[in-house]
């Protein structure tokens, strides 16, 4: 069964209480159980990692090569700053779907740039927690197509 690693970056551990007017009231644990349910239905294995540290996120991306078939990545604010994350994704050559709960293009201009987008197969932004499910759906189609 294809395996997808779902990586969440800085401050996403606070989901549910962090700026609920922007990010909603769903917690990261809720997102995880929604993803597990969807993955089971889609025929995917899923694993989760969250870190507030750039280097730990890079290590998780490196470790995914060989143990997972694809990545769903919400890199939080590192999306807009991290050439190192971009290079890590390019190095492992795994399909990555970039996810954001909020619509980064409708917010401050510094959020419009993504270092992840050029190395991702696609970006889902603005659909709240559903974005993670949309990403899994897209990956299932890609990984399970015969």
Distance CA 45, CA 37 (A): 10
Distance CA 19, CA 42 (A): 31
Q: Which of 76, 82, 86, 136 binds ligand DQA (CB under 6 A)?
A: 76
23 is catalytic: yes
Q: Give yes or no for residue 68 binding ligand DQA (CB under 6 A).
A: no
Out of 68, 78, 100, 115, pick the active-site residue: 100
130 Cβ neighbours under 8 A, 6+ residues apart:
none
Q: Give yes or no for residue 74 binding ligand DQA (CB under 6 A).
A: yes
Q: In what order do the strands lie in the sheet with 70-74?
A: 45-50, 3-8, 70-74, 96-100, 122-125
DSSP 102: S
Given the complex with ligand DQA, which of 19 and 41 has the nearer CB atom?
A: 19
Q: Give yes or no for residue 77 binding ligand DQA (CB under 6 A).
A: yes
Task: Report the chain's C-alpha Rg in angstroms.
Answer: 14
Q: Give yes or no for residue 106 binding ligand DQA (CB under 6 A).
A: no
Q: Give yes or no for residue 3 binding ligand DQA (CB under 6 A).
A: no
78 is catalytic: no
Q: Give yes or no for residue 35 binding ligand DQA (CB under 6 A).
A: no
Q: Give the contact letters, 110-129, x = binds to ligand DQA (CB under 6 A), - = no.
A: -x------------------
Distance CA 12, CA 28 (A): 7
Q: How far is the CB of 105 from ligand DQA (least distance, A)?
A: 10
CB atoms within 10 A of CB 12: 20
> Is residue 98 within 8 Å of 117, Cβ to Cβ?
yes
Q: Which residues are catalytic?
A: 23, 100
Q: Which residues contact ligand DQA (rule: CB under 6 A)?
A: 11, 74, 76-77, 79, 100-102, 104, 111
């Amino acid at each position: 069964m294809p395996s997808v690693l779902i990586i969440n970056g800085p401050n996403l551990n606070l989901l549910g209480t962090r700026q609920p007017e922007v990010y909603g009231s769903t917690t990261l644990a809720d997102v995880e159980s929604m993803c597990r349910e969807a993955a089971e239905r889609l025929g995917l294995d899923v694993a989760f990692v969250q870190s507030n540290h750039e280097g730990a996120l890079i290590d998780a991306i490196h470790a995914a090569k060989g143990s997972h078939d694809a990545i769903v990545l919400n890199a939080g604010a590192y999306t807009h700053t991290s050439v190192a994350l971009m290079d890590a994704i390019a190095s492992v050559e795994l399909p990555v779907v970039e996810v954001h709960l909020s619509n980064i293009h409708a917010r401050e201009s510094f959020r419009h740039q993504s270092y992840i987008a050029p190395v991702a197969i696609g970006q889902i932004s603005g659909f709240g927690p559903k974005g993670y499910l949309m990403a899994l759906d897209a990956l299932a189609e890609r990984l399970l197509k015969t």
